[in-house]
Amino acid sequence: MTNTEIKADIGYVKELVSKAKTPSPPASVYALWAVLVAVGFSLVDFAPRWVGFFWMIVGPAGGLLSGYLGSRCGVKRGQIDREIGVQHALHWSGMLVVTGLAVMLAVKGLVTGAVLSQIILLIIALGWWSAGVMFDKAFLYLGGIMMLGFIATLFISKYAWTGMGILMMIALFMLALKKGKRNGK
């Protein structure tokens, strides 16, 4: 092996290690959630009866699909890291469980559907914010948008949820485009 070949091999390994230090979801995950969030948040304004049913199905299914897409992307990149996969699974499933527990407040009649939606929004905002701390800084912005959206739901009675859903959709699609360009897609 020549010096040039060794340097090329070391450069390749260095690039893989560099990417592995900052694992981030693939563009497809951001695009998926752009659609799901836009639809789910808009339901609060236009079809509140369907919000719980929508998220009961779409939340876990979207999480499983996100895990699959992330895992597939990791395999393609050569970045298979079981520990990071387990961290993601624990983080996101923990958020799902806490959301389910919050629903018990409505089941017991302690909060109304509108207040429950706001409580769940806070849980999700914190979940996405902490994902920004642990996994991908982009989630900090998304969690921040949701926090601002929570404030909007306190003071704006019409279409605050739809507006937040549209803003989240735009932010998520922009991230998907950015991630896609970065990964050559």
- pLDDT, residue 33, reads 96
Reported as a pLDDT band with limits 50, 70 and 90, residue 74 is: confident
Continuous segment of H or E residues that includes residue 46? helix 27-46
Reported as a pLDDT band with limits 50, 70 and 90, residue 73 is: confident
Q: How far is CA 105 from the centre of its chain?
A: 24
Check residue 45 and give left, alpha or beta (phi > 0: left; psi -120 to 50: alpha).
Answer: alpha
Continuous segment of H or E residues that includes residue 115? helix 113-134
Please give the DSSP secondary-structure letter assigned to residue 49: G
- Calculate mean pLDDT across residues 19-43: 86
- pLDDT, residue 78, reads 73
Reported as a pLDDT band with limits 50, 70 and 90, residue 35 is: very high
- pLDDT, residue 50, reads 95
Continuous segment of H or E residues that includes residue 20? helix 3-21
Reported as a pLDDT band with limits 50, 70 and 90, residue 183 is: low
Enumerate residues 6+ apart whose C-beta is below 8 A from 124: 95, 99, 146
